[in-house]
Amino acid sequence: MCLSQQGRRNGEALIRFDCKEHRDLALRKHKHHIGQRYIEVYRASGQDFLDVAGGQFYLQHSQGLDLQEGWLMWSM
């Protein structure tokens, strides 16, 4: 879950999928509803994760992180 500048949840999440098939299924939910919530789903990168998560810990421990494949930005 992503947090606002005030530390509150902002309705966005970055999700990493282990396989392209699951990622592609999630992308099909773009501009749909889950229950009564309208959602938008966008392709994202591992660099987007680092930009959102930030902090030196992630920068120092991201060597094994695949920064190219399988990421989505989920917005509710």
| Enclosing domain of residue 21 | 12-75
Query: Is residue 5 a part of any domain in this protein?
Result: no
Reported as a pLDDT band with limits 50, 70 and 90, residue 30 is very high
For residues 74 and 53, give the distance between their C-alpha atoms in angstroms, rounded to a whole number.
15
Q: Is residue 30 part of a domain?
A: yes
The count of structural domains within the chain is: 1
Whether 1 is covered by a domain: the verdict is no
Q: How far apart are CA 34 and CA 1, in angstroms?
A: 17
Note the pLDDT tens digit of each residue in 36-49.
999 999 998 877 87
Question: 73 falls in which pLDDT band (50, 70, 90)?
Answer: low
Per-residue pLDDT at 58 exceeds 80: no
Q: Is residue 4 part of a domain?
A: no
Question: Which pLDDT belongs to residue 16?
Answer: 84
pLDDT at 6 over 50: yes
State residue 32's pLDDT score: 95
In a domain, 56, yes or no: yes
Strands (E), 5-54: 12-16, 32-34, 37-44
- DSSP state for residue 27 in the 8-state scheme: H
